[in-house]
């Protein structure tokens, strides 16, 4: 994962570098993912406009996200740019690095625990990367959906168990959207109608979990938890609309008011 993938990076590639030395013309950097290969960051590629002090932008030992703009394969020289890296590219690269670091820690622990060889670890990682962008992604999916995710791979039971236990260390970020429904019915069996309707929207499966709790007649709280607000909002809207239609079909009264949403973690 952090090993050298090829001898030289490609032009246009986003890389992580450590600033080694700052000069009057720019900075020499070490490309972390390419076996500490040296690259050069010219002063004209550090920032737009005139630069009075390079160290305002880059300093020795500092980590930087750079774009490879020229590669001389014959001489093994790499020129980089800081100013050509977009905010989105920088964010994406830092996420990639963080995922790789976490996955490396997980795999190192599993390797030691199961006494695996480097070749065996590489084989497992290759299987994962055939289905996921990053090795870390499989651990995250196990944390979200459960160990059944690993059934798609040909892995030993011991390895699956170890991977599941490492996945349990991940705190899965979740969001919670809430609201209060006021529901009433004049029918003799109105209470049963309401109970049956609310039970029909509760769900603990899929990408969102919906719970309804009784506050006090005629008020009921509905809470939807999901991995992001888009999924949560869609599930909330669907559930509320389902309740509204069912209650109004039975000539009951329905009203809904939103409460403040919040971010949480899956326990």
Q: What is the tens place of the pLDDT at every residue in 145-198?
A: 889 999 999 899 999 999 999 998 888 777 899 999 999 998 999 899 999 999
Q: Is the pLDDT of residue 12 over 90?
A: yes
SS3 of residue 31 by DSSP: strand
The pLDDT value recorded for residue 242 is 95
pTM above 0.95, yes or no: no
Q: Is the pLDDT of residue 263 over 80?
A: no
Average pLDDT over residues 91-102: 92
The pLDDT value recorded for residue 173 is 74
Residue intervals in the chain for CATH 3.30.70.1130: 173-265
Q: Would you state the structure tokens that stand for residue 120, as one six-digit string?
A: 């065996």
Q: Are 175 and 169 in contact (CB under 8 A)?
A: no
Homologous superfamily, domain 14-83: Nucleic acid-binding proteins (2.40.50.140)
CATH of domain 88-167: 1.10.150
Give residue 144's pLDDT band: very low, low, confident or very high (50, 70, 90).
Answer: confident
Give residue 6's pLDDT band: very low, low, confident or very high (50, 70, 90).
Answer: very low
The pLDDT value recorded for residue 5 is 41
Average pLDDT over residues 62-78: 93
Q: Is the pLDDT of residue 218 over 50?
A: yes
Residue intervals in the chain for CATH 2.40.50.140: 14-83
Sheet holding 173-184, edge to edge: 208-216, 219-226, 173-184, 253-265
Rounded Cα–Cα distance for residues 4 and 102 (Å): 18
Q: Residue-wise over 173-212: b if at least 16 C-beta within 10 A, else e?
A: ebbbbbbebebebeeeebeebbeebbeebeeeeeebbbeb
Residue intervals in the chain for CATH 1.10.150: 88-167
Average pLDDT over residues 15-29: 95
First-residue to last-residue Cα distance in the chain: 29
Which listed CATH number (3.30.70.1130, 3.90.950.20, 3.40.50.300, 3.40.50.970) goes with 173-265?
3.30.70.1130
Q: What is the mean pLDDT of the chain?
A: 90
Rounded Cα–Cα distance for residues 87 and 89 (Å): 6
Q: Are 66 and 14 in contact (CB under 8 A)?
A: yes
Q: Is the pLDDT of residue 1 over 70?
A: no
Average pLDDT over residues 108-134: 93
The pLDDT value recorded for residue 3 is 41
Rounded Cα–Cα distance for residues 100 and 69 (Å): 24
Of all residues in the chain, the percent with pLDDT exceeding 90 is: 69
Q: Is the pLDDT of residue 264 over 90?
A: no
The pLDDT value recorded for residue 17 is 96
């Amino acid at each position: 994962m952090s090993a050298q993938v090829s001898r030289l990076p490609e032009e246009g590639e986003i890389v992580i570098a450590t600033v080694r030395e700052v000069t009057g013309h720019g900075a020499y950097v070490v490309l972390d993912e390419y076996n500490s290969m040296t690259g050069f960051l010219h002063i004209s590629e550090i920032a737009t406009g005139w630069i009075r002090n390079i160290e305002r932008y880059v300093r020795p030992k500092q980590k930087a996200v750079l774009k490879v703009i020229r590669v001389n394969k014959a001489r093994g020289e790499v020129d980089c740019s800081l100013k050509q890296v977009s905010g989105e590219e920088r964010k994406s690269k830092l996420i990639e690095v963080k995922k790789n670091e976490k996955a490396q820690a997980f795999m190192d622990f599993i390797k030691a625990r199961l006494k695996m060889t480097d070749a065996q670890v590489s084989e497992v990682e290759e299987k994962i990367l055939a289905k996921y962008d990053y090795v870390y992604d499989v651990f995250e999916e196990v944390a979200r959906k459960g160990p059944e995710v690993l059934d798609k791979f040909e892995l030993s039971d011991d390895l699956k168990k170890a991977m599941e236990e490492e996945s349990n260390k991940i705190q899965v970020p979740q969001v919670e959207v809430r609201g209060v429904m006021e529901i009433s019915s004049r029918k003799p069996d109105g209470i049963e109608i309401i109970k049956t309707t609310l039970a029909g929207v509760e769900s603990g499966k899929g990408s969102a979990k919906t719970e309804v709790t009784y506050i006090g007649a005629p008020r009921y709280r509905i809470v939807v938890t999901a991995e992001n607000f888009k999924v949560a909002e869609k599930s909330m809207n669907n559930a509320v609309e389902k309740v509204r239609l069912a209650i109004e079909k039975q000539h009951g009264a329905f009203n809904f008011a939103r409460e403040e949403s919040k971010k949480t973690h899956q326990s």
